[in-house]
């Protein structure tokens, strides 16, 4: 399990995250929601050391890292090799074909043999419904296809956790749907995931646990059903704004 | 004087690059012929140019330029005359006019003092010799089958020989004696080419083909300067000896 | 050696102020104008007989980018006088050395800068054109008010590099009888037989000028980028 | 009123729009919907001559333009000066301040005096809720703020029509809401608008008329209420995909 | 004149094949290696004593970009022999002209290309770094597999321009006694007193080489950009 305790992160003196303590259970999907600029991305990126919090404890299973101390490259690499990140902008490698994008990590990082990596990559592309796109370059994909390749790329590393930062917010609703379906499928296979999303319908379906952040503070941390039935007026307002029921 | 080549009528002043001035092309970086002393242009050919201009009732106007610009500039009318240690050759006479020679410049071959292999001009063949590209020195090196390596600065030529990076250099004897006046030639020796090896260059002023009138007038002036001793005086001043006759 | 430096430096600086700097500055300004015109011709969408103008612009850029600058200087100064055009130039095209120098340097830097400016214009996102067209602007207004102001920012670093290169290239002007800074150093070296000292000295002077220009570049980049936020 | 008849547009031999005939009534809001790649943007951009259809008739009030004939620059300019376009990517002029962005059109195109243009711009910025941002540069705005400036910029030209191509699809839901509210306000003032959007809740609220395009063909052209209550299975599927009721 | 062209051209081409081309090619390859190393040092995030290396890299780039190439050639060839280091170089650093030429051209082009490559690396979006880091790649692997392959595409046009510039700049090698193409044209001109013809001839030869290189550049740009779709 991943857990952070009393995590703090500032940008130029401005508090992006204040005293955050959250658990992200294994084999479950945790969804992080909250208004724009509340610190969702910062929290997710901190779990991968793309951001470096000033203080707090980061615990991954039995490994405990004191974030206020210098952290060795080795520690960072080992965490990154147990987790994967899927970005809003896909960040596929444009100079590699779709297949090579998926094979690159296993070959370069896990030293998997090329033939084995290729077979695994072909299987994964099939799983996200893109078997026939294996040989094209990312620039020839639609947004929904690109994001599914990015998901296949992260799955290829067999990560213990996958982090997804608004994986569909750059997509048209129809393309979004393609991606969300793939994610629901993966969640049902008990892949541990942490997802930042604005899509409440999707959150409701996929989340085992919801974390609501506002202004760098955790306002809610608990079950999905309780979240959508809350009496908290702030959360109610937020949900209705997200679903346009009150324009 | 032979004005036969001149087909033009009119005065020698008609075709000047700048009216009232005798515009003279030279390098300005070649002691003792023309060089800069305390920021002012001086040298044998500078004083000679002034004297000629005076004889022609003109003001001397010097245009220093790199060698490659000299001949081209004359052709395109940038100056009227070149005074730059230029020697007559049959090839060049086809394209340009020459004055009567004003000095006879002997060539000197500089080598390391411990060099036993290069004694006469014949030994230049196949050796690396340095000289400035445009100069007649370079042409002589190539004539004897040497590999001409271009160097503009005389000091650098000497350094190259001392360091053993060049086998020798060719230059005017006068350039070496001028240098030797207050610099050491330690580690070097030089051999002045005999009349049999390479006749002294007939250093003359250079004109465009159509400037026959001017050439004749300059020849008259040179004759005048020779007769009244000016030429000899300048030669002694800059070369230490009289090289104005064969 | 100290003596040489003390006596030579004023002469070098004088030549620099008299030739190197003015020739670089004037040539660069003229070159920029030429470059802008050339770039605008090359990106123009005009049809018809305009392709002749486009061909000329392409040829001009090609010619000046694929031959050595030294040769260009030489041909303009020494070669054009042979070009006798009855009526217009019965005695060939004669220019003073400084005129020929400025003309050649302008043409040369203009060819390089034309490509820089063209690239900068093409790098402005198409959305800027579309937004301005939607407002009802003409192509000229779009260029003048929307595209070029943004292209200035993009092209500033390469243009500044071209200018710094030009300053150093003026040393070639010696071959067309201009006694600029570098030629003065050579003349002094011929007389004091210390070419190496003179080379180092003149190199230092060039370095001072070029470094000052780099600072100016940094300042201008900051000014023209004021509208780009750094964070995010 | 703007009307197109039998409009055809191809890209490299591929039909993007086929025989489109639609009316866009004055003082009303027409919403164009349809799957990704169906030709919505192409249709909207054709109305502004950012795309040039190969054939068809374009009628603006009494002016009729035969699209298969060469069209003079003057005609294009006159159409563009009667209409404004708001883009998905805002396309604000980054080198001009927010205020200058709004003033630029009136001054350069309509030759309005600077003082008058400035006053009008300040008023419009107030209207979209950004009076206090007048002097900042676009790069300092959030997406929602940038899009509201773009709307103010188009309003400053007093256009007969405003075209909006997915004006909020680059925005987070909360920021989207800011923009949609402004648009609802403008629609209520009887500004003629044509909007391409994926937001069905918004479409339902704002549209007087809905045009549904698929694969370059018009499949529906009529009232908003009838559209959302249609029996057409294709349209029903589309609406439910857009609203995530069937992930 | 026809006679001059016919007899001179073979000599010029020979000099071109013997010096101009090999010197340009070797110098450019070495310069590229140097540029890459320098660029990597400059963008490195290493701390500690590494700043000394960074300082050296900065100084190197500054030095070679702010002084004329001619002066650099001169100092390396004629100046270094004076630099006598007891033990290492008791007689000063002596090099053959071609070695000195290649060294200087490599250093010079390396300084310019270092900036090009650095710029290209910095132009690759941060997301590429983050995606590669997330996979668990080390910084070295990210650079080698993800960033540099993309930077090649971005830096190809300016690097090609540098190479074309280098080919023309080898004409300066004459000043350190290398008889390259340009020098041969001058030597011929010294005999026939027809510098203008020789200049035009040699300009044409340079133009041929540079144009051929431009074509090669266009081809390479197409190859390295194969993964970028043009439409949209
Ligand atoms: N690199 C950065 N430098 C400075 N401030 C930053 C940086 N990254 C984020 N911030 C600030 O930290 C705060 C939290 O940002 P964060 O991106 O985590 O929000 P978010 O919840 O992901 O928002 P969104 O829904 O818009 O993605 C914001 O105020 C943001 O401006
Ligand atoms: N410039 C272009 N060149 C070639 N094809 C184009 C171009 N613009 C659009 N197309 C093609 O025309 C068709 C219609 O595109 P259009 O952008 O109008 O669709 P859309 O309905 O706006 O889609 P979206 O919802 O994704 O914005 C698509 O097949 C698209 O690929
Ligand atoms: Mg975020
Ligand atoms: Mg569209």
Average pLDDT, chain A: 94
Q: Select from D11, D15, D219 the residue to mutate for testing ligand 2; criterion: most ligand atoms less than 8 Å from CB.
A: D11
DSSP state letter for E89 = B
CA A37 to ligand 3 center in whole angstroms:
7
Q: Kindly list the distances between the CA atom of residue C196 and the CA atoms of B101, B187, C113, D132, in Å, as whole numbers in the listed order.
A: 35, 20, 34, 64
- pLDDT tens digit sequence for E170-184: 988 988 888 889 888
The kind and range of the H/E element at E223 are: helix E195-224
- pLDDT tens digit sequence for C146-197: 999 999 999 998 999 899 999 999 988 888 888 889 888 888 887 777 778 8
Shortest distance between the Cα of D33 and any Cα of chain C, in A, equals 22
D62 three-state secondary structure: coil
pLDDT at C70: 87
- pLDDT tens digit sequence for B158-173: 888 988 888 999 998 8
E130 inside domain: yes
Q: Percent of chain C, pLDDT > 90?
A: 63
A182 three-state secondary structure: helix
pLDDT at A36: 87
Average pLDDT, chain B: 86
**Cα–Cα dist C188/C186, whole Å:** 5
Q: Quick one: pLDDT band at residue E22, thresholds 50, 70, 90?
A: very high
Q: Quick one: pLDDT band at residue B4, thresholds 50, 70, 90?
A: very low
**Cα–Cα dist B222/B230, whole Å:** 9
Average pLDDT, chain D: 94
Q: Quick one: pLDDT band at residue E232, thresholds 50, 70, 90?
A: very low
* Beta carbons of D85 and C138 less than 8 Å apart: no
Nearest alpha carbon to residue E128 among E116, E113, E139: E139
**Hey, whose CA ends up nearest to atom 28 of ligand 1?**
A37
D140, burial (CB in 10 Å: exposed 0-12, middle 13-18, buried 19+):
middle
Nearest alpha carbon to residue D180 among E15, A243, B194: A243
Q: Quick one: pLDDT band at residue B122, thresholds 50, 70, 90?
A: very high
* Beta carbons of C196 and E75 less than 8 Å apart: yes
Q: Quick one: pLDDT band at residue C49, thresholds 50, 70, 90?
A: confident
pLDDT at C230: 47
Nearest CA in chain E to C69: E168
Residues of chain E with Cβ-Cβ distance to C65 below 8 Å are: 164, 210
A116 three-state secondary structure: helix
* Beta carbons of E214 and C66 less than 8 Å apart: yes
Q: Percent of chain D, pLDDT > 70?
A: 98
* A91, A109, A140: residue with CB nearest E130: A91
pLDDT at B5: 42
Residues of chain B with Cβ-Cβ distance to E183 below 8 Å are: 133, 150
The per-residue b/e assignment along E70-79, b for 16 or more CB within 10 angstroms, e otherwise, is bbbbbbbbbb
pLDDT at B69: 74
**Cα–Cα dist B20/B40, whole Å:** 22
- pLDDT tens digit sequence for E59-95: 999 999 999 998 899 889 888 877 777 777 777 788 8
Nearest alpha carbon to residue B171 among B126, B141, B127: B141
Instruction: Report the alpha-carbon angle C195-C200-C205, nearest 5.
Output: 125
Q: Over 60: is that where the pLDDT of B1 sits?
A: no
pLDDT at C231: 40
E88 inside domain: yes
pLDDT at C232: 37
C188 inside domain: no
pLDDT at B2: 39
E203 inside domain: no
Q: Over 80: is that where the pLDDT of D68 sits?
A: yes
Cβ–Cβ under 8 Å, residues D27 and D61: no
E211 touches chain C (CB under 8 A): yes
B-proximal residues of C, 66-105, CB under 8 Å:
74, 77-82, 91-92, 94, 97
Taking residues A132-147, report their average pLDDT: 94
Q: Quick one: pLDDT band at residue E190, thresholds 50, 70, 90?
A: confident
C104 inside domain: yes
- pLDDT tens digit sequence for E115-171: 999 999 999 999 999 999 999 999 999 999 999 999 999 999 899 999 999 999 998
Taking residues A17-45, report their average pLDDT: 95
CA A214 to ligand 1 center in whole angstroms:
12
pLDDT at E87: 79
Nearest CA in chain C to E211: C66
E217 touches chain B (CB under 8 A): no
* Beta carbons of A80 and E133 less than 8 Å apart: yes
Taking residues B149-164, report their average pLDDT: 84
pLDDT at B8: 47
| Domain total of chain E | 1
pLDDT at A175: 86
Cβ–Cβ under 8 Å, residues C198 and C8: yes
Q: Please give the residue range of the domain that contains residue C178.
A: 22-182
Reported for C32-36, long-range contacts at CB under 8 A and 24+ positions apart, including other chains, are C32/C109, C32/C110, C32/C113, C32/C159, C33/C110, C34/C106, C34/C107, C34/C110, C34/C113, C34/C114, C35/C109, C35/C110, C35/C111, C35/C112, C35/C113, C35/C114, C35/C116, C35/C117, C36/C114, C36/C117
Taking residues D8-19, report their average pLDDT: 94
φ, ψ of residue E57 in degrees (nearest 5) = -60, -45
Taking residues B181-207, report their average pLDDT: 90
B17 three-state secondary structure: coil
Taking residues C196-210, report their average pLDDT: 91
Q: Percent of chain A, pLDDT > 70?
A: 98
Cβ–Cβ under 8 Å, residues E98 and A120: no
User: Interface partners of C (3+ CB pairs, < 8 Å)?
Assistant: B, D, E
Q: What is the CATH number of the domain that holds C71?
A: 1.10.3720.10
Q: Over 60: is that where the pLDDT of B138 sits?
A: yes
**Cα–Cα dist A141/B99, whole Å:** 81
Tell me the domains of chain A and their CATH numbers.
1-82+162-247 (3.40.50.300), 92-159 (no CATH)
C193 inside domain: no
Say if ligand 1 is within 6 A of residue A135 CB: no
- pLDDT tens digit sequence for B218-230: 999 999 999 999 9
DSSP state letter for B154 = H
B82 touches chain E (CB under 8 A): no
- pLDDT tens digit sequence for D196-245: 998 888 999 999 999 999 999 999 999 999 999 999 999 988 888 877 65
C141 inside domain: yes
Q: Kindly list the distances between the CA atom of residue E224 and the CA atoms of A99, C53, D35, E112, in Å, as whole numbers in the listed order.
A: 19, 32, 34, 22
- pLDDT tens digit sequence for A230-241: 999 999 888 888
Nearest alpha carbon to residue C167 among C198, C200, C205: C205
Interface-testing mutation among E1, E66, E201, E212, with chain C (most C C-beta atoms within 10 A)? E66
**Cα–Cα dist D147/D145, whole Å:** 5
- pLDDT tens digit sequence for A60-116: 999 999 999 999 999 999 999 999 999 999 999 999 999 999 999 999 999 999 999
CA A38 to ligand 1 center in whole angstroms:
7
Q: Which residues surround ligand 4, an ion (CB under 5 A)?
A: D 41
E208 inside domain: no
């Amino acid at each position: 399990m991943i857990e952070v305790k009393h995590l703090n992160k500032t940008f130029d003196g401005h508090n992006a995250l204040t005293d955050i303590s959250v658990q992200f259970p294994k084999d479950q999907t945790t969804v992080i929601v909250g208004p724009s600029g509340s610190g969702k991305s910062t929290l997710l990126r901190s779990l991968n050391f793309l951001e470096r919090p000033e203080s707090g404890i980061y615990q991954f299973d039995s490994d405990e890292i004191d974030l206020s101390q210098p952290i060795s490259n080795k520690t960072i690499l080992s965490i990154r090799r147990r987790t994967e990140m899927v970005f809003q902008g896909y960040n596929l490698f444009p100079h590699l074909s779709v297949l090579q994008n998926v094979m690159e990590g296993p070959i370069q990082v896990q030293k998997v043999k090329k033939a084995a990596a290729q077979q695994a990559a072909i299987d994964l592309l099939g799983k996200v419904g893109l078997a026939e796109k294996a040989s094209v370059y990312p620039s020839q994909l639609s947004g929904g296809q690109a994001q599914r390749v990015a998901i296949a790329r992260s799955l290829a590393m067999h990560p213990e956790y996958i982090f997804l930062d608004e994986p569909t917010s750059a997509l048209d609703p129809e393309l979004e749907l393609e991606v969300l379906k793939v994610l629901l499928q993966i969640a049902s296979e008990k892949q541990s995931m942490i997802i930042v999303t604005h899509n409440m319908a999707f959150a409701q379906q996929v989340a085992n646990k919801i974390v609501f952040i506002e202004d760098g503070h955790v306002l809610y941390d608990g079950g999905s059903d309780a979240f959508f039935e809350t009496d908290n007026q702030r959360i109610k307002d937020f949900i209705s704004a997200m679903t346009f029921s009150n324009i | 004087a032979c004005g036969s080549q001149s087909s033009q009528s009119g005065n020698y002043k008609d075709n000047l690059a700048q009216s009232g001035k005798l515009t003279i092309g030279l390098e300005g970086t070649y002691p003792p012929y023309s060089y800069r002393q305390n920021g002012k242009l001086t040298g044998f050919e500078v004083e000679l140019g002034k004297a000629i201009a005076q004889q022609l009732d003109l003001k001397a106007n010097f245009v220093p330029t790199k060698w490659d610009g000299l001949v081209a500039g004359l052709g395109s009318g940038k100056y009227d005359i070149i005074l730059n240690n230029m020697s007559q050759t049959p090839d060049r006479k086809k394209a340009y006019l020459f004055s009567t020679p004003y000095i006879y410049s002997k060539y000197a071959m500089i080598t390391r003092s411990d060099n036993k292999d290069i004694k006469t001009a014949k030994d230049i063949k196949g050796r690396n010799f340095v000289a400035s590209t445009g100069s007649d020195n370079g042409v002589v090196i190539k004539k004897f089958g040497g590999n001409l390596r271009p160097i503009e600065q005389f000091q650098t030529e000497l350094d190259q020989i001392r360091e053993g990076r060049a086998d020798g250099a060719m230059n005017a004897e006068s350039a070496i004696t001028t240098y030797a006046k207050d610099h050491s030639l330690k580690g070097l020796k030089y051999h002045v080419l005999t009349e049999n090896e390479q006749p002294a260059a007939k250093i003359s002023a250079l004109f465009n083909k159509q400037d026959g009138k001017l050439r004749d007038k300059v020849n008259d002036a040179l004759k005048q300067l020779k007769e009244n001793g000016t030429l000899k005086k300048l030669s002694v001043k800059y070369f230490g000896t009289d090289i104005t006759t064969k | 050696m100290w003596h040489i430096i003390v006596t030579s430096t004023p002469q070098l600086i004088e030549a620099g102020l008299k030739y190197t700097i003015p020739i670089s500055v004037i040539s660069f300004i003229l070159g920029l104008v030429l470059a802008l015109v050339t770039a605008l011709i090359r990106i123009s969408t005009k049809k018809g007989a305009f392709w002749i103008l486009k061909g000329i612009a392409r040829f001009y850029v090609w010619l000046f980018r694929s031959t050595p600058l030294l040769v260009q200087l030489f041909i303009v100064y020494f070669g054009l006088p042979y070009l006798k055009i009855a009526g217009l130039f019965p005695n060939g095209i004669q220019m003073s050395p400084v005129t020929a120098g400025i003309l050649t340097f302008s043409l040369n830097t203009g060819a390089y800068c034309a490509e820089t400016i063209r690239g900068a214009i093409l790098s402005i996102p198409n959305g800027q054109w579309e937004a301005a067209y939607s407002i009802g602007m003409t192509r000229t207004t779009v260029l003048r008010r929307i595209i070029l102001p943004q292209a200035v920012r993009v092209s500033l670093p390469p243009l500044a590099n071209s200018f710094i290169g030009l300053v150093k290239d003026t040393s070639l002007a010696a071959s067309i009888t201009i006694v600029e800074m570098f030629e003065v150093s050579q003349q002094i070296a011929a007389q004091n037989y210390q070419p190496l000292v003179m080379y180092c000295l003149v190199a230092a002077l060039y370095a001072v000028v070029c470094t000052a220009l780099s600072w100016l570049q940094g300042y201008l980049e900051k000014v023209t980028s004021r509208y780009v936020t750094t964070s995010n």
